[in-house]
Structure 1
Amino acid sequence: MTGPAETAQTPGQDTVSSPVPRRNARLPRTARRAQLMAAARDVFVARGYHAAGMDEIAERAGVSKPVLYQHFPGKLDLYLDLLHSYVDDLVRGVREALASTGDNKLRVRAAVQAYFDFIDDEAQGYRLVFESDLLGEPSVQQRVDRALEACIEAVAEAVITDAGLDLPRARMFAVGLVGASQVSARYWLDHDRPVPKDEAVAITSSLAWRGVAHLPLQHEPG
């Protein structure tokens, strides 16, 4: 007999792993919205945007479609709100990493770690940011581009402050660090974590640090 916590599955498609909540539970608006977004995340990650349906998202959340539409006018609106929450998480993680220490070597490692942690999160929100089947949609691509630009700006500001580089050169370095972190972290995950995460972070940050270490600090003579 099927119980309310049994996993929902559509024949011929991947299983969405989160439990189906009981219907008709009365929740505050913010809690209901968070519940709907969590259900949408599960469905979008498992199916992709185009194959996902509002029916399935509502079922996943244990609500009726009218309740879902009370919070989100349409599937794209729901997707964009969910995407926005994850790109904010990424940018916040990078900024906090850069502000966590004044030691440049540790700062580089912390920034790389932020990318690996984001990619390795069990919620798999990174797939909505980097592997979306909706990246051709201008509103989606713009949000992803803004997130990457914010990460680049954060790194560039740190480089300008510590190394006294002008903005174009600081941005060149920042683009390299952000790009290397993103590509390395995705490679690591896509290849089933071939080395421990700490070691993968150390390898990537060591490569970046070899470049940073040769930049003259602004407060050093000569």
Structure 2
Amino acid sequence: MTSGAGTDVDGRVPADPTAGGSQTRATRMPRDQRRASLLDAANDVFTTRGYHAAAMDDIAEAAGVSKPVLYQHFPSKLDLYLALLDASCDSLVDIVSDALAATDHNADRVTATMSAFYEFVSSASGEFRFVFESDLTGDAAVQQRLWQVNSDIADLVAAVIVEDTALPPEQSKLLAISLVGIAQVSARYWVSSGMSIPIEEATQLVSRLAWRGIRGFPLTAYDPSRL
């Protein structure tokens, strides 16, 4: 099998046979660093071409390695895609978690959560495409991850609702998943329609809609400062 240009089958740059003196083999890239490099290249290829049109040859070429090196880290194209999907899902959960923790003012929490989704879909990294626009949603492993990320985010929101309203967990989770749906669907529409509305204006519009609904559930101990 032919290796990538300028590399041997291990993805290393071979020593120059024309150089004088003793030859020193180039240091192998640390595994974690190599994996991160491969994921970056795969992210570019998948977001540009989609899962089905992308080939492992394309990803190896974009990463500047041979296919054997790529397969050492990821046994299949699906494994590589799922690794990117997992990273994207983790990133979204972290963003929402940080948004909820940034304030204890509930109206601001709603705005921060909506902003988290809008910032995620507008990121130049294209991570959102793995979570919201995957062309592999028929795969069971992808479906499970997409369900899980929505559930994980809803759990974060539900925890705040339970604490503030004393609603049962089941009711709080239903309200939370509804808020997540508003954020996700509206953000997807906003980015797919060309982001003609400025992000701050779009976030405020959707936040007002969500807040006017959730504020109807009063705090367990009324505290005007948290409204």
Q: Same fold (TM over 0.5)?
A: yes
Q: Tell me, in whole angstroms, the C-alpha distance in 1 between the residues paired with 2:133 and 2:142.
A: 12
Q: TM-score, normalized by length of structure 1?
A: 0.86
Following superposition, which runs of at least 4 residues in structure 1 exceed 6 angstroms of deviation?
none
Q: Tell me, in whole angstroms, the C-alpha distance in 1 between the residues paired with 2:195 and 2:204.
A: 14
Q: TM-score, normalized by length of structure 2?
A: 0.84
> Contact 1:23–1:62 at 8 Å: present in 2 too?
no
Amino acid at match of 2:122: D
Where do 5+ consecutive residues of structure 2 fail to align? 1-10, 14-25
Q: Tell me, in whole angstroms, the C-alpha distance in 1 between the residues paired with 2:49 and 2:180.
A: 28
- The 3-state SS of whatever aligns with 1:195 is coil
> Contact 2:150–2:177 at 8 Å: present in 1 too?
no
Equivalence for 1:148: 150
> Contact 1:54–1:65 at 8 Å: present in 2 too?
yes
Amino acid at match of 1:33: R
Q: Tell me, in whole angstroms, the C-alpha distance in 2 between the residues paired with 1:136 and 1:23.
A: 37
Larger Rg: 2
Q: Tell me, in whole angstroms, the C-alpha distance in 1 between the residues paired with 2:165 and 2:113.
A: 17
Equivalence for 1:61: 63
Residues 166-191 of structure 1 show CA distances to partners (whole Å, capped at 9, x for unaligned) of 12221221122100100111111111
Q: Tell me, in whole angstroms, the C-alpha distance in 2 between the residues paired with 1:129 and 1:52.
A: 17
Aligned residues: 200
Q: Tell me, in whole angstroms, the C-alpha distance in 2 between the residues paired with 1:42 and 1:107.
A: 33
Structure 2 residue 195 is matched with structure 1 residue 180: no
Structure 2 residue 205 is matched with structure 1 residue 203: yes
Say what the alpha-carbon RMSD is for the aligned residues.
1.6
- The 3-state SS of whatever aligns with 1:165 is coil
Equivalence for 1:119: 121
Q: Tell me, in whole angstroms, the C-alpha distance in 1 between the residues paired with 2:38 and 2:181.
A: 32
Residues 17-75 of structure 1 show CA distances to partners (whole Å, capped at 9, x for unaligned) of xxxxx983842211111110011011111111111100000000001111111111111
> Contact 2:132–2:188 at 8 Å: present in 1 too?
no
- The 3-state SS of whatever aligns with 1:122 is coil
